[in-house]
A and B are shown apart, each in its own frame.
Chain A
């Protein structure tokens, strides 16, 4: 059997503070990366998909 997939533990103390600061930092950069081309490709992939 392969290595089990790990679940995400609750972040506390330093790890929580570090993560929360990253969240705040990223929120300030909301929608700053143009992903329209990749999104368009993904829509076409989903339209063609056999799900």
Chain B
């Protein structure tokens, strides 16, 4: 059925897991730093909840982990059709729309468990399929239309999310800097990408 189902178990990722497991190495300094030092703070402040899959034959090995939180995509604009209807003397009406979303803050797969022999899909793909399925599941207590990810602005990470159907929320780095309040000369270390869950049929 798949490596994550057959050989691993989903658990909350917390200080107890960090203390009892071997170091979780995603071969990425910032990700390792986040999953070692920052997860507990995010959790304590109710800013994000982190989950992991541990290996069944050795539960001290964390195979992959991800941090998620509730968020939304809000849009406000004046469509042309609407503009024409607005009388000059009346201030322009802004249309605000909010779409429920879940934000994947961070996601990582252990460097030694990315490709498992005999598996059709790599572990990262299996993990993303699980997250997508989790949020279209009938047991999900709240509506969720989009998965948004704050991906590292690096070729490998961007390629991973693109291959899993995500696309950029902003068309250019410059546009994303403007919307996120970064000066033009600053480095854009992460990119926001989204996936629309509405296209999936859970059967």
Report whether chain A binds chain B: yes
Give Cα distance in the complex from A43 to B67, angstroms: 20
Q: Mark B6-40, 1 if CB is under 8 A from A, else 0.
A: 00011110000000000000000011011001100
Dominant SS among interface residues on chain B: mixed
Kindly list chain A residues whose C-beta atoms are within 8 Å of the C-beta of B203: 34-37, 39-40
Instruction: Select B73's contact among A8, A18, A26, A27, beta carbons within 8 Å.
Output: A8
Q: Which of B82-90, B101-109, B110-118, B155-163 contacts A (4 or more CB under 8 A)?
A: B101-109
Q: How many of chain B's residues touch chain A, expressed as a range?
A: 35 or more
For residues 1 through 51 of chain A, which have their beta carbon under 8 Å from a beta carbon of chain B?
1-3, 5-20, 22-23, 26-27, 29-46, 48-51
For the complex, give the distance between the alpha carbons of A39 and B137 in Å.
Answer: 7
- Our pick among A36, A43, A50 for the contact of B201 (Cβ within 8 Å) is A36
Contact status B201-A29, CB under 8 Å: no
The verdict on B175 contacting chain A, using a C-beta distance below 8 Å, is yes
Tell me if B173 counts as interface (CB < 8 A to partner A): no
Q: Could you tell me the distance between the alpha carbons of A39 and B134 in the complex, rounded to whole angstroms?
A: 8
Give the interface of B toward A (CB within 8 A): 1-2, 4-5, 9-12, 30-31, 33-34, 37-38, 42, 47-48, 51, 67, 69, 71-77, 79, 97, 99, 101, 103, 105-106, 126, 129-130, 132-134, 136-137, 148, 150, 167, 169-171, 175, 179-181, 189-190, 192, 196, 198-203
